[in-house]
Amino acid sequence: RDWASAIKTINKAIELSPNNPFIYVYRATAFNLSGDYASAERDALKAIELDPKNAPAHEALAWSLLRQERYDEAIQVATKAIELDPESAMPWAIRAYAKQMTGDLAGMLEDIKQAAALDARFRPQYEGALKGGKIYDPSIKDELYILGPAKGRGAGGRSGSGAAIGFFLLLLGAAGAAA
């Protein structure tokens, strides 16, 4: 995926609408997917500044903190995302991943169970966790987590970042066509 082109396209959108928090969420997600977690954190915080109740912004921030190994902060921010949108599976999963990394395996199991209840694509992780397996491996690429188990609406569930992912796929197509 050409995240650099997507980010350039989003930069233009920010120039046109610098107070739109969702554009910052889109760019934060692109930065997360490109591995630039510090920039993702910056954009997620900007989106939260513009709209403190923006659940996808909290989700993007939680992911960037998780990937920066700031697990306690990731847990706190994912908890806020859950409070804002308890029906979104991804913040439950992010919090489960962070809890695994802090050694809170009971909390991890509880959260991944909730993520699986909201989105069937998390069921394999939950089933693996029931057998004592790990659900998060920091060495695995972000796309497999963000675009893999929790994109859009699943069987009986949804992810708060689903709209952002769909938007990115459109941007990538537009960026590719423009190149």
The token pair at 150 is 């929790």
Calpha distance 78→62 (Å, rounded): 5
Q: pLDDT tens for the chain, 179 residues: list them.
A: 788 888 899 999 899 999 999 999 999 999 998 999 999 999 999 999 999 999 999 999 999 999 999 999 999 999 999 999 999 999 999 999 999 999 999 999 999 999 999 999 999 999 999 999 999 988 887 666 665 544 333 333 444 444 444 444 444 444 444 44
| Structural contact between residues 3 and 27, judged by C-beta atoms closer than 8 angstroms | no
Number of C-beta neighbours around residue 64 at 10 A:
28
Classify residue 140 as exposed, middle or buried by CB count within 10 Å of its CB (0-12, 13-18, 19+). exposed
| Structural contact between residues 52 and 26, judged by C-beta atoms closer than 8 angstroms | no
Calpha distance 34→1 (Å, rounded): 9
